[in-house]
């Protein structure tokens, strides 16, 4: 049940079937010269919507803006502060609780460590505030990593490389440019840098040359299957 598509009567009827909601989070962030700025949000939202076709679950509209640190100097990246993300997610989840939802699966299409930590902090606050809720927090890259390894050939591929290019070729082929870059960032270990683009000029972390639409379809379906299993686990998990 996609929230922006249903009526209030549909919502009330849906509560008779499930008290679980998926809350996808993404980013407006550069993804190299070949992928759209909304890649993270498109990816995670489509996974959530497809999961909702296979198991009864609510899907909230995605939170489009994310915490972007390493890519903030690249053209097109529009980020928010961790505190902003925490406040927004906390408000959304609290109001979903007020509307009757009790199981929250917060899933990020943006794999930033700061983003995931911010979302996890909100999840911890939810389980302390409401004794009857269950919460899961993860990124889309956490879904079925072992199964993904059977498809992906690029080592240490995480941003606009083989995985995301393949998935976007499956989901939004007309939006994918012809370039197939290969790059890994060169940030110094432990040392924070001001000019981040100097250490990561192309904004790609991986090898897009290894991407294909067929791989994208397989990766997408593996992710959906893993998410469906997680939904069922969350529904039956101990409080």
Q: Which of 140, 202, 197 is nearest to 168 (CA)?
A: 140
CA–CA distance, 151 with 219 (Å, rounded to integer): 7
Residues pairing with 183 in the sheet: 206
Q: So what's the pLDDT on residue 237?
A: 62
Concatenated DSSP letters of the chain: -BGGGS-HHHHHHHTTT--EEEEEE--B--BTBTB-TTHHHHHHHHHHHHHHHHS--EEPPPB--B--STTTTSTT-BB--HHHHHHHHHHHHHHHHHTT--EEEEEESS--HHHHHHHHHHHHHHHHH-TT-EEEEEEGGGSSHHHHTTT--STT--BSSHHHHHHHHHH-GGG--S---EE---PPSS---S-HHHH-TT--BEEGGG--HHHHHHHHHHHHHHHHHHHHHHHHS--
Spatial separation of the C-alpha atoms in residues 227 and 54, rounded to whole Å: 10
Q: How far apart are CA 39 and CA 30, in angstroms?
A: 9
**Side-chain half-sphere CA neighbours of 103 within 13 A:** 19
Q: Which domains does the chain have, with CATH numbers?
A: 3-234 (3.40.50.10310)
Q: Is the pLDDT of residue 239 over 60?
A: no
Structure confidence at residue 145 (pLDDT)? 84
Q: What is the pTM of this model?
A: 0.95
- Alpha-carbon span 110 to 90, nearest angstrom: 18
What pLDDT does 8 receive? 97
pLDDT digit string, tens, across residues 72-83: 999 999 999 999
Question: For residue 148, what pLDDT is reported?
Answer: 81
- The pLDDT tens digits of the residues spanning 173-190 come to 999 999 999 999 999 999
pLDDT band at 238 (very low <50, low <70, confident <90, very high): low
Residue 209: which of 81, 41, 32, 66 has the closest Cα? 32
> What is the average per-residue pLDDT within 196-222?
96
Mean pLDDT of 131-153: 90
Q: List, for residues 82-137, the tens digit of each pLDDT value.
A: 999 999 999 999 999 999 999 999 999 999 999 999 999 999 999 999 999 999 99
Express each pLDDT in 32-70 by its tens digit: 999 999 999 999 999 999 999 999 999 999 999 999 999
């Amino acid at each position: 049940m996609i929230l922006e598509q249903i009526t209030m009567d549909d919502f009330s009827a849906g509560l008779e079937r499930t008290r679980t909601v998926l809350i996808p989070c993404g980013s407006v962030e550069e993804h190299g010269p070949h992928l759209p700025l909304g890649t993270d949000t498109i990816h995670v939202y489509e996974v959530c919507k497809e999961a909702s076709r296979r198991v009864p679950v609510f899907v909230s509209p995605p939170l489009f803006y994310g915490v972007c640190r390493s890519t903030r100097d690249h053209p097109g990246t529009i980020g928010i502060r961790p505190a902003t993300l925490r406040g927004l997610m906390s408000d959304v989840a609290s109001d979903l609780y007020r509307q009757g939802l009790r199981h929250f699966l917060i899933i990020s299409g943006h794999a930033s460590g700061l983003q995931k930590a911010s979302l996890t902090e909100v999840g911890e606050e939810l389980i302390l505030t409401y004794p009857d809720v269950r919460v899961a927090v993860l990124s889309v890259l956490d879904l079925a990593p072992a199964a993904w390894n059977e498809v992906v050939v690029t080592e240490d591929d995480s941003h606009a490389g083989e995985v995301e290019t393949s998935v976007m070729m499956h989901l939004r082929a007309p939006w994918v440019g012809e370039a197939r870059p290969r790059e890994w960032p060169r940030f110094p270990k432990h040392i924070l840098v001001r000019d981040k683009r100097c250490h990561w000029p192309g904004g790609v972390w991986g090898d897009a040359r290894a991407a294909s639409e067929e791989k994208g379809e397989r990766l997408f379906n593996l992710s959906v299957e893993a998410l469906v299993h997680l939904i069922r686990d969350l529904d039956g998990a101990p409080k």
